[in-house]
Amino acid sequence: MLRVQIPSETQEGKYIFVRDHYPFYSHILDGSNDLPAYGQVFLAETIGTMFFVMLYLTSKYEVARGRDSFAMIVCVIISWIGLYTCLEHVSGGIFNPAIALA
């Protein structure tokens, strides 16, 4: 999970990310002309992680109360797919802020 970067040929001291070598590349950096947009990435990852953890803990609580465990698993999977779809172009959809900023 390493961001591969190479030195720019036109500007001294500037580096360019090689997007093909990093599967979780944050596509929001494409629109920012490679300016730092890590605050947006971190915010998206934090919000996605918060929603996913809240949903997971709620489903565990509902299963402990005697609800159908299969329905809770389906809810968690569908919500993860929805969160990933919403945030994959902003942060890569990893839902771990520490890895997203690595």
Domain segments of the chain as ranges: 25-100
For tokens 């500007």, name the residue: 11
Q: Please name which of 33, 29, 17, 16 lies closest in space to residue 8, comparing C-alpha atoms.
A: 16
Residue 20 scores a pLDDT above 80: no
Q: Please name which of 51, 1, 6 lies closest in space to residue 24, comparing C-alpha atoms.
A: 1
CB within 8 Å of 48: residues ≥ 6 apart: 83, 86, 87, 91, 93, 95
The pTM of the whole model exceeds 0.75: no
| Percent of the chain residues past pLDDT 70, beyond the cut | 67
Residue 40 scores a pLDDT above 80: no
Q: What is the SS3 assignment for 7?
A: strand
Q: Who has greater pLDDT, 69 or 102?
A: 69
* Cα 91 to Cα 10, 24, 42, 53, 65, distances in angstroms: 28, 8, 8, 17, 35
DSSP class per residue in 88-99: HHHH-S---HHH
